[in-house]
Amino acid sequence: MRFLRSFTRVSDLPHVHAEIALVGRSNVGKSSLINAVAQRKSLAKTSKSPGATRLLNAFEVGVADSGRWLMDLPGYGFARVSKAEQKRWAVLLNEYIQERENLVSILLLIDAEVGPTALDLQTLAWLEHLDRRICFVATKADKVRPAKSAKRRADLSQKLGVDKSEILWVSAGKGIGIAELRARISELLGTQS
């Protein structure tokens, strides 16, 4: 995987073969997850404060010029930015999700420790309304204590309205589930050899 470039507007994005978009709250760990999947420490910029991703960031998956992209989108929810900037991100996200023709799937990231928030559930309902294919990814799985893991998995499954088997549990920091996520991305984008 390699970083291609950042885009400020959806209209600037070129036509590509297939795209997967990372969607989640501002502090769900999107950039860390990209780095873990790519097996590179600083491919995507990470930050201690939420809201580091402010543009549409394109990463190419597979061979060069394959036209298969992983898109890192601005997060929703809490971020230390102005209301105007948050609104701009919301418009950008909305426009991208609705207009991209070759968007094959959304990776909807949910914080495994926190569980789905009201904003996560609102985003899920919106994505389902748009009839977008969704792959559920529970991030920060290492933060869930083993004694609470089974209950948390059942709770997450129930709140999202999907079978437990449909949720990938991952940890960018510990490498949990990263190989499975990498395989799922390859499958969705058609980059398997």
Tens of each residue's pLDDT in the chain, 193 residues: 999 999 988 899 999 999 999 999 888 988 899 999 999 988 877 655 444 456 889 999 988 888 999 999 887 765 555 666 556 656 778 889 988 999 999 999 999 999 899 989 999 999 999 999 999 999 999 999 999 999 999 999 999 999 999 999 999 999 999 999 999 999 999 876 4
Contacts of 23 (CB under 8 A, 6+ apart): 73, 76, 93, 97, 106, 107, 108, 109, 123, 127
Sheet holding 68-72, edge to edge: 2-7, 56-60, 68-72, 18-24, 103-111, 134-139, 167-169
pLDDT, position 55: 81
pLDDT, position 193: 45
Provide the residue range defining the domain that includes 150. 2-189
CA–CA dist 156, 94 (Å, integer): 25
> Which CATH number goes with the domain that contains 25?
3.40.50.300
Region at 161 (left for phi over 0; alpha for psi -120 to 50; beta for the rest): left
pLDDT, position 81: 54
pLDDT, position 127: 92
**Into how many domains does the chain fold?**
1
Helix axes 178-189, 30-38, angle to 10 degrees: 80
- Pairing mode of beta strands 103-111, 18-24: parallel
Angle ∠(76,81,82) on CA atoms, nearest 5: 105
